[in-house]
Structure 1
Amino acid sequence: MDKITLVTGGAKSGKSLFAETHVRAYGLPLVYIATSQAFDTEMEDRIAAHKTQRGAGWDTVEEPLDLCCALARTDGAGARLVDCMTLWLSNVMHAELDWQAELEKVLQTLREQSSPVMLVTNEVGGGIVPMSALARRYRDASGLMNQRLAAGAGHVVMVTCGLPLALKGSAAAPASLA
């Protein structure tokens, strides 16, 4: 899955900006697959800020659950940015779906892609142990999901303080990753 890049980091680490910049470097049409859902005004504001940050020129596909369908439907349409996998996982768990089975489907779909895909995810396990069982299950599932995605990706980049660190493959512009 050399066309797959996983970008990880903490909240507000600069990972989305890194991913947006590097997806543009492919020189292909831009497809943004959004997994977030606006359940409140704070999330609406966050989504608006992301739209402003990435600017014009993106074909946006909003898909909170059926990521496989969104990836299959957009393969061949350009370079895709999925933002973000941890929100997708939250949606899947909230819908009471089997997150491991859903992840297996996503991994299989990623293996079948012909166009580049950049996945953004959060590192959520680096802080304190969450107080609730649900939050601990989510933290653990996020870590396990990120391990599986990283194992299958051709490139893995951690962004912290706005600075990229290549963990696997290269953190260079995607044109050199193809």
Structure 2
Amino acid sequence: MTVVHHSHLVLGGARSGKSRYALDQAGPAGFVAFLATARAVDADMAARIAGHRAERPARWSTIEVPLEVGAECRRAVRSHDLIVIDCVTIWVANLMERGDEDVAVLAAADDLVKLMRERLATLVIVSNEVGDGVHPPTPLGRRFRDLLGSVNQRLAAAADRVTLMVAGIPVIVKDTPLPTSPDARPPEAP
């Protein structure tokens, strides 16, 4: 049976079950790479990273990539059937912290979109939906919310499937029929 790779964006609020659901999507996939964007900047984050690491099967490749997600993902598709990226929210924050301008962050997101459309491996991408929360009181907070919203929109437009996690319940937002052949390419988004 021929495998047709696809892309799946998993969105949700904090502690909504995004990561657990993304891990479950791997199912019996053979070679899985987990691209982790978080850095252990304090004890709390180190504990969260350790907890997430313990949830993943030992046979998976874990690649810590706080900044160059697109380039690392492109390398990973050469030897993995499925790639989980967790998470875009931290990745965007890392790029902003590095000093990247919005246009550079959006270009990095567009590189990931291009890879999604190439269907070289199945991609499961996790991100936070931050637009439903409180209006950020600072200019930096508003910039982050707006930029992450723009990145999420780009990823959602390219994704074959988009799932919104609500209190641990997956709500399918988009479910595009997959092509029947791995050589078929989805139409370009307008």
TM-score, normalised relative to structure 2: 0.84
Q: Which of 5, 21, 25 does residue 24 from structure 2 map onto?
A: 21
Note the alpha carbon deviations across 1:57-110, whole angstroms, 9 max, x for none. 210011111111111111142211000011111111111122112212222232
- SS in structure 1 at match of 2:127: strand
Letter in 2 for 1:4: S
Q: Which of 6, 9, 16 does residue 6 from structure 1 map onto?
A: 9
Letter in 1 for 2:13: G
Q: Does 2:166 align with 1:160?
A: yes
Q: Which of 94, 99, 108 does residue 96 from structure 1 map onto?
A: 99
- SS in structure 1 at match of 2:83: strand
- The alpha-carbon deviation at position 26 of structure 1 amounts to 4.7
Runs of 4+ aligned residues of structure 1 deviating over 6 Å after TM superposition are none
- SS in structure 2 at match of 1:65: coil
Q: Separation in 2 of the partners of 1:79 and 1:53?
A: 17
Matches within 5 A, 1:11-50: 11-23=14-26, 25-50=27-52
Asked if the contact 2:5/2:120 (under 8 Å) is kept, the reply is no
Give the structure 1 partner of residue 179 of structure 2.
Answer: none
Give unpaired runs (5+ residues) of structure 2.
177-181, 183-190
Q: Separation in 1 of the partners of 2:21 and 2:108?
A: 27
Q: Separation in 1 of the partners of 2:144 and 2:28?
A: 33
Asked if the contact 1:7/1:157 (under 8 Å) is kept, the reply is yes
* Greater C-alpha Rg: 2
Q: Which of 107, 113, 119 does residue 107 from structure 1 map onto?
A: 113
Give the structure 2 partner of residue 116 of structure 1.
Answer: 122
- SS in structure 2 at match of 1:56: coil
Root-mean-square deviation over aligned CA pairs:
1.7
Give the structure 2 partner of residue 80 of structure 1.
Answer: 83
